[in-house]
Amino acid sequence: MEDYESDNGRMLFAGVYASDIAEEFGTPVYVTDEKKLRENYRRIHGVFAKEMDTVVNYACKANSNLAILRILEEEGSHIDAVSVGEVESCLKAGFTADRILYTGVNVSNEELKAVSELDVMINIDSESELERLAEINPGHKISIRINPGVGSGHSDAVITGKRGTKFGIPSERAIDVYARANDLGFDIRGIHAHIGSGGSDIYPFMDAAEILSELTNEIKDIGVDLEFIDIGGGFGVPYKMNEDPMSLEELAIEVTDIIKMQTDVETLYIEPGRYIVADTTVLLTKCVNIKDLGTKKFVGVDAGMNNLVRPAMYGSHHHVAIADKFGKACTAKYDVVGPICETGDYLAHDRVLPNPAEGDIVVVYTAGAYGFSMSSNYNMRPQCREVLVNDGKAELIRDVQPMEDLWKHQIVPERLRK
Ligand code: LLP
């Protein structure tokens, strides 16, 4: 991973001083570089499309801000959505229903009805879901999610393709389920597997492509021709300074070779979330409190696990720096901790930093994927602002949440009112 440029010790984010953005919009604030977002989309689409006709379904769970969705809609992306809320957000952002694939897990009849009425293709996760959809909307366009028994991911909590997880239909049941879907009269378009998130090794993706290719041929033998093979998302990105990116080119060549050599399917679907948005965005937070316990030093900041839960939830590493102390000598090791009343509320452990002081702007890197989208109102803290930088100009794309929002849907029974 490469560091940002700086000018006289001041970090530049997409040509703008990071601390100026913090000053103008307040902290904590997520800041996204539009140019980088467009480049990431074009790179991943280009690398795969060079080998085979490829549809990129951006996994919008990673970041579903409407401005981000608008940019990706302009770029020609399609969508992987996991809820009616995501489907509706993408429709609102201008995606047409035929550019959205819905992949839910433990889907209720209400959700199946809502999604199918929006005319969005449904990626079936279980045999029960298939039977229930046949009652609700027979003949709907579908794909089927297979659990290939191959997993990958940065943490056990995000490995989905292994046996024993709640996702998909085990590969040994696949042929029966496709036959059943055919008997039920569904419009069957594809086959899907998502093995997990944030893996950097290309072999599990190749194994999954092998399994999906073999199944595609067996499915053809029972009279169902598939239009696409969907290998899911999960392509890892570097979070540490000395980490190299995974070789997307190699991955694209290997996976498409397997599919082209073994099947006559012409279209590949991929579902990157993290790859497209992770490194487009930083979280800017202000140091509000320095605490030195002798044995331990803390940089207390105004962003916590309510804003970015990944370090607390998965032990994830996010690089941190001080915006206006670039290139300054590091003085000691610190934990960067937030305002949430939990010991586990940290953004970074044991980081050497250049003499942090109250008022400094701390930059949390690679925060664009599963950053804002997993944020919460824990401790009754409003969700923070989001800003988009383009052509040297910073624009607000989400305002800070008013406290009123946090109370709006709560009801105090009449008898308890004061
Ligand atoms: N497709 C499906 C069916 C998925 O479930 C996911 C992610 C993706 C695509 C996109 O995966 P990506 O390319 O972003 O790795 N909150 C965790 C990640 C959870 C991923 C859930 N599913 C984190 O912060 O690392």
By alpha-carbon position, which residue is closest to atom 23 of ligand 1? 370
> Is the shortest distance between the CB of 161 and ligand 1 below 6 Å?
no
> Is the shortest distance between the CB of 354 and ligand 1 below 6 Å?
no
Shared-domain flag, residues 155 and 269 = yes
By alpha-carbon position, which residue is closest to atom 24 of ligand 1? 370
Q: What is the rounded average pLDDT of the residues 69-96?
A: 98
Atom of ligand 1 nearest to the CA of 192: 3
Q: Is residue 85 part of a domain?
A: yes
- What is the rounded distance in angstroms from the CA atom of residue 335 to the CA atom of residue 342? 14
**Model confidence over 123-139: pLDDT tens digits?**
999 999 999 999 999 99
**199 Cα: distance to centroid of ligand 1 (angstroms):** 10
Atom of ligand 1 nearest to the CA of 62: 14
Shared-domain flag, residues 174 and 297 = no
Shared-domain flag, residues 234 and 288 = no
pLDDT at 24: 98
Pocket test for ligand 1, best of 169, 194, 197, 308 (most atoms within 8 A of CB): 197
**273 Cα: distance to centroid of ligand 1 (angstroms):** 6
Q: Is residue 1 part of a domain?
A: no
Using pLDDT thresholds of 50, 70 and 90, give the confidence band for residue 330: confident
> Is the shortest distance between the CB of 158 and ligand 1 below 6 Å?
yes
Using pLDDT thresholds of 50, 70 and 90, give the confidence band for residue 143: very high
Distance, C-alpha 148 to centroid of its chain: 21
Shared-domain flag, residues 170 and 85 = yes
Q: What is the rounded average pLDDT of the residues 32-49?
A: 98
Strand partners, 188: 142
- What is the rounded distance in angstroms from the CA atom of residue 198 to the CA atom of residue 154? 5
Residue 381 predicted with pLDDT over 90: yes
Are the C-beta atoms of residues 100 and 120 closer than 8 Å to each other? yes
Atom of ligand 1 nearest to the CA of 232: 1
> Is the shortest distance between the CB of 232 and ligand 1 below 6 Å?
yes
Using pLDDT thresholds of 50, 70 and 90, give the confidence band for residue 310: very high
CB-neighbour burial class of residue 56 (10 A; exposed 0-12, middle 13-18, buried 19+): buried
**Model confidence over 174-233: pLDDT tens digits?**
999 999 999 999 999 999 999 999 998 999 999 999 999 999 999 999 999 999 999 999
Shared-domain flag, residues 84 and 15 = no
Shared-domain flag, residues 350 and 396 = yes
> Is the shortest distance between the CB of 311 and ligand 1 below 6 Å?
no
**44 Cα: distance to centroid of ligand 1 (angstroms):** 16
Q: Is residue 353 part of a domain?
A: yes
> What 3-state class would DSSP assign to 380?
helix
Beta-carbon-side half-sphere exposure of residue 409 (alpha carbons within 13 Å):
2
Using pLDDT thresholds of 50, 70 and 90, give the confidence band for residue 321: very high
Asked which of 241, 276, 311 is the last residue of a domain, the reply is 276
Which amino acids are annotated catalytic?
Answer: 341
> Is the shortest distance between the CB of 102 and ligand 1 below 6 Å?
no
Q: What is the rounded average pLDDT of the residues 233-250?
A: 95
Atom of ligand 1 nearest to the CA of 160: 5
Atom of ligand 1 nearest to the CA of 103: 3
Shared-domain flag, residues 45 and 92 = yes
Using pLDDT thresholds of 50, 70 and 90, give the confidence band for residue 335: very high
Shared-domain flag, residues 157 and 16 = no
pLDDT at 331: 83
Are the C-beta atoms of residues 36 and 14 closer than 8 Å to each other? yes
Q: What is the rounded average pLDDT of the residues 338-361?
A: 97
Using pLDDT thresholds of 50, 70 and 90, give the confidence band for residue 83: very high
pLDDT at 255: 98
Q: Is residue 412 part of a domain?
A: no
Shared-domain flag, residues 340 and 265 = no
Q: Is residue 290 part of a domain?
A: yes
By alpha-carbon position, which residue is closest to atom 5 of ligand 1? 194
Q: Is residue 415 part of a domain?
A: no
Q: What is the rounded average pLDDT of the residues 344-353?
A: 97
Asked which of 276, 308, 336 is the last residue of a domain, the reply is 276
Residue 284 predicted with pLDDT over 90: yes
| CATH number for position 186 | 3.20.20.10
CB-neighbour burial class of residue 409 (10 A; exposed 0-12, middle 13-18, buried 19+): exposed
Q: What is the rounded average pLDDT of the residues 275-302?
A: 97
By alpha-carbon position, which residue is closest to atom 20 of ligand 1? 197
> Is the shortest distance between the CB of 286 and ligand 1 below 6 Å?
no
Residue 343 predicted with pLDDT over 90: yes
SS (H, E, C) 171-234: HHHHHHHHHHHHHCCCEEEEEECCCECCECCCHHHHHHHHHHHHHHHHHHHCCCCCCEEECCCC
Shared-domain flag, residues 44 and 175 = yes
Q: Is residue 146 part of a domain?
A: yes
Are the C-beta atoms of residues 321 and 363 closer than 8 Å to each other? yes
What is the span of the domain harbouring residue 365? 6-32+278-407
> Is the shortest distance between the CB of 198 and ligand 1 below 6 Å?
yes
Q: What is the rounded average pLDDT of the residues 365-375?
A: 98
Shared-domain flag, residues 187 and 288 = no
pLDDT at 4: 97
> Is the shortest distance between the CB of 197 and ligand 1 below 6 Å?
yes
By alpha-carbon position, which residue is closest to atom 8 of ligand 1? 233
Q: What is the mean pLDDT of the chain?
A: 97
Shared-domain flag, residues 195 and 72 = yes
Domain count, the chain: 2
Q: Is residue 163 part of a domain?
A: yes
Asked which of 250, 276, 302 is the last residue of a domain, the reply is 276
| CATH number for position 380 | 2.40.37.10
pLDDT at 235: 97
